[in-house]
Amino acid sequence: MRYVILGNGPAGVNAIEAIRKVDREGEIINISVEPYRPYSKPVMPHYVGGFIPYEGMFFRPEDFYDRYDVTPILGDGAVEIDIDRSMVILQSGRRVPYDKLLIATGGKPRELKVPGHDLDGIYYMTNLDYTKKIMEKLPETKKALVLGGGPLGLKASLSLSHHGIDVKILISSGQVMSQVLDPDSAKILEKKLDESKVEMRLRTWVIAFEGSGGRVKQAVLNTGEKLPCDLVVIAKGVQPNLDLIDPKKIRTNVGIIVNHYMQTSRPNIYAAGDVAESYDILTGGNNTVAVWPRASEQGYYAGMNMAGFEKPYPGAHRMNSLDFEGVSCIVMGDVKTVKKGFVVIIQKDEKRNIYQRIILENGRIRGAAIIGRIVNVGGINRFIRKAVEIGRVKDALLEEKATFIY
Amino acid sequence: MILADIDHCVGCRACEVACAEKHLGEVKGEAVGVEALLAARRMHVGISMGGTKPMPIQCRHCEDPTCLFACITGAMHRDPATGMVLVDEEKCVGCWTCLKMCSFGTIMVDQIGHRVLKCDKCFMDRPPACVEACPNNVLIIEEVEYVDQDACIGCGLCETLCLRGAIKLVDTEKGRKSQINQDLCKGCGICAASCPRDAIKMRYFTDEKAFETIAELLEVA
């Protein structure tokens, strides 16, 4: 049995570990377009900020591939999947036949294709190569712009400002974390941002970049203003990378559609992680939840199923965690949607930067944003996942000593 | 393994204090009193739903730990030798993702060191600090499986099946027999179920209880 896994992020790595739990003999080949052993994209901003060393970005030991008896092919990515012949064709022309294939190739950045976007000094922060380029530019950077107010934009701007660089974060919507947080929760983070050295501009976006000598010098905004900059980091989100997929052969929507066993429309081909669209518990439909823990668990379930151990994936709900200059922000489920009949519980202490919001539908938690203090997040997350009727526990949800073991 | 007889827990938190005391040396920076407790303890006493039943909450070192899925740095890992799920406190960046993946809420927050803390069963120090401190015998190291060495024929099937390396053949006066390391044993019962001579017994969930449960289920069905 030959398992071929495309991608060595958390989905691919967890798939390898799951397969080996069930099948010690089968051959596993792990292919990545990047030349690096498994590394973590979410911690790249921590590295840029100087909080962790380079080695801190690698989330498995150096001997990972040996330990799990896997043949890695790094720096030579798949360019085509030949479904009829059950093989993948790599950049180098090499052909790798498979019995079971896992597509865990992740996402690619939402690009900003405005005039001047290809000037030197304008980067995304979606892989290690970009991060290295940004690090190289840091010593000569005086003014930086970060485009996007999601978790990556926020982390990147704070990291850059730790180097003494003048950082402005430009956000198109009216709040930070517009995809994840409601406006009131967002205000706590905005307040923290105001207190930091990063300047935040809401309802602002770039319509063009201007440069000289091929290097970016300023950004032209929708407001008409021109902001000087030597470094630009675009953090406007990611979308599934479907470059490899022929939609006539493998069903896709926004991502590759998978069933509860992480199978695509082709029985021997599986998908997991940021590239996949799997069952979303809250919407009841398929969705791509592009966060690390989901990618890990989907990879694990894909690996189990590929190796013949039937294990249906119960589905996911969205979630995010970040620590924002000492203010923790943990979001689970959907805290934005409020319809008639929903119950909204709010407990806050604005002076201490604490804001907690829980949304209930029919007595079940739909979403929770816990900011500024960490309490019962494990229990609340479980209640969301299992659609538990809260009942009288409602009053204990935000109490420090409460425990929800039952 | 460590069992908690929660009926007798009065919520005195001696276990928490002992846990913190044991790990005080690992606290980063200055902290005294409650702050020190919160930055050093790796378990806590929670009050269950309804607000009346206190109970000690420790990491269960699960077989399928969801916290491992969450860790973005690889700080959270399973130690191959002991099978315990541990966090490398130097590698942890304090992203807080693992906290919400643990359904039992066993992972603790260290606000001073900006990282998470995790029960490590006091490594191989026996007894663990929490067990030693409990004045009410709520936390006990209990033998949940035991080998009847007269019935054991030393075939070694149990040793090959155990996921945790908790049962091994050792030389005894009666020949090669299985012996259980009670620290590593999690009471899963794989060895007991597979023993061809029925030489391994479960102490709590006995065969009799298992058959009773099956009978009840069959009645309902």
Interval A331-341: pLDDT, tens: 999 999 999 99
| Three-class secondary structure assignment of chain A | CEEEEECCCHHHHHHHHHHHHHCCCCEEEEEECCCCCCECCCCHHHHHCCCCCHHHHECCCCCHHHHCCEEEEECCCEEEEECCCCEEEECCCCEEECCEEEECCCEEECCCCCCCCCCECEEECCCHHHHHHHHHHHHHCCEEEEECCCHHHHHHHHHHHCCCCEEEEECCCCCCCCCCCCHHHHHHHHHHHHHCCCEEECCCCEEEEEEECCEEEEEEECCCCEEECCEEEECCCEEECCCCCCCCCCCECCCEECCCCCECCCCCEEECHHHEEEEECCCCCEECCCCHHHHHHHHHHHHHHHCCCCCCCCCECCEEEEEECCEEEEEEECCCCCCCCCEEEEEEEHHHCEEEEEEEECCEEEEEEEECCCCCHHHHHHHHHCCCECHHHHHHCCCCCECCCC
Contacts of B57 in chain A (CB under 8 A): 403, 405
- What's the rounded Cα separation, in Å, for the pair B27 and A221? 48
- Structure confidence by residue, pLDDT tens digits, B112-155: 889 999 998 887 777 889 999 999 989 887 777 888 989 999 99
pLDDT recorded at residue B140: 83
**A378/B50 touch (CB, cutoff 8 Å), yes or no:** no
Check whether B33 has a pLDDT greater than 90. Answer: no
Residues of chain A above pLDDT 70, percent: 99
- Structure confidence by residue, pLDDT tens digits, A264-293: 999 899 999 999 999 998 888 888 989 999
Q: Kindly report the nearest CA distance between residue B50 and chain A, in angstroms.
A: 7
Check whether A297 has a pLDDT greater than 90. Answer: yes
**A43/B57 touch (CB, cutoff 8 Å), yes or no:** no
**B72/A392 touch (CB, cutoff 8 Å), yes or no:** no
Q: What is the mean pLDDT of residues A165-184?
A: 94
Q: What residue spans define the domains of chain A?
A: 2-108+239-306, 111-236, 326-396
Residue A130 class from Cβ within 10 Å (0-12 exposed, 13-18 middle, 19+ buried)?
Answer: middle
- Please count the residue pairs, one from chain A and one from chain B, whose beta carbons lie less than 8 angstroms apart: 112
Q: Give yes or no for A406 touching B (CB within 8 A).
A: yes
Contacts of B71 in chain A (CB under 8 A): 59
Q: What confidence tier does B17 reach under pLDDT thresholds 50, 70, 90?
A: very high
Q: Kindly report the nearest CA distance between residue B115 and chain A, in angstroms.
A: 11
Structure tokens at B65: 């730990």
pLDDT recorded at residue B146: 86
Contacts of B109 in chain A (CB under 8 A): 374
pLDDT recorded at residue A172: 95
Check whether A313 has a pLDDT greater than 90. Answer: yes
Given this chain, do its domains A111-236 and A326-396 carry the same CATH topology? Answer: no
A395 or A99, which is more confident: A99
Nearest C-alpha in B relative to A273: B69
SS3 B153: coil
Residue in B76, B97, B112 to test binding to A, most A beta-carbons within 10 Å: B97
pLDDT recorded at residue A148: 95
Residues of chain B above pLDDT 90, percent: 35
Contacts of A313 in chain B (CB under 8 A): none
- Structure confidence by residue, pLDDT tens digits, B197-209: 999 988 877 888 8
Alpha carbon B150 to its chain's center = 29
Q: Give yes or no for B63 touching A (CB within 8 A).
A: no
Most confident of A81-85, A190-194, A371-375, B202-206: A81-85
The candidate with the shortest Cα–Cα distance to B20, out of B114, B124, B117, B99, is B117
The candidate with the shortest Cα–Cα distance to A70, out of A115, A22, A13, is A13
What's the topology of domain B2-141?
A: Alpha-Beta Plaits (3.30.70)
pLDDT recorded at residue B221: 64
What's the topology of domain B145-220?
A: Alpha-Beta Plaits (3.30.70)
Q: Kindly report the nearest CA distance between residue B148 and chain A, in angstroms.
A: 31
Domain A2-108+239-306 architecture: 3-Layer(bba) Sandwich (3.50)
ipTM value, please give it.
0.90
- Structure confidence by residue, pLDDT tens digits, A44-72: 999 999 999 999 999 999 999 999 999 99
Most confident of A30-39, A190-199, B125-134: A30-39
**B74/A377 touch (CB, cutoff 8 Å), yes or no:** no
Q: Give yes or no for B107 touching A (CB within 8 A).
A: yes
Q: What residue spans define the domains of chain B?
A: 2-141, 145-220
Could you tell me which residues come within 8 angstroms of residue B80 by beta carbon, excluding any fewer than 6 positions away? none
Domain A111-236 architecture: 3-Layer(bba) Sandwich (3.50)
Structure tokens at B179: 């012996």
Q: What confidence tier does A405 reach under pLDDT thresholds 50, 70, 90?
A: low
Contacts of B66 in chain A (CB under 8 A): 293, 297
Chain A, 314-333: which have a CB under 8 Å from a chain B CB? 319, 321-323, 326, 328, 330, 332
Could you tell me which residues come within 8 angstroms of residue A270 by beta carbon, excluding any fewer than 6 positions away? A100, A101, A102, A103, A258, A261, A262, A263, A264, A302, A305, A306
Contacts of A402 in chain B (CB under 8 A): 46-49, 51
**A56/B105 touch (CB, cutoff 8 Å), yes or no:** no
**A404/B48 touch (CB, cutoff 8 Å), yes or no:** yes
pLDDT recorded at residue B111: 87
Cα-based distances in Å from A11 to A18, A275, A298, A347, A380: 10, 10, 6, 36, 25
Chain A, 123-162: which have a CB under 8 Å from a chain B CB? none
What secondary structure letter does DSSP report for B26? G
Check whether B51 has a pLDDT greater than 70. Answer: no
What superfamily in CATH does domain A326-396 come from? FAD/NAD-linked reductase, C-terminal dimerisation domain (3.30.390.30)
Structure tokens at A398: 């935000």
The candidate with the shortest Cα–Cα distance to A180, out of A9, A364, A318, is A318
Residue in A394, A399, A403, A404 to test binding to B, most B beta-carbons within 10 Å: A403
Q: What is the mean pLDDT of residues A168-184?
A: 94
Structure tokens at B20: 């913190």
**A381/B45 touch (CB, cutoff 8 Å), yes or no:** no
Q: What confidence tier does B163 reach under pLDDT thresholds 50, 70, 90?
A: confident
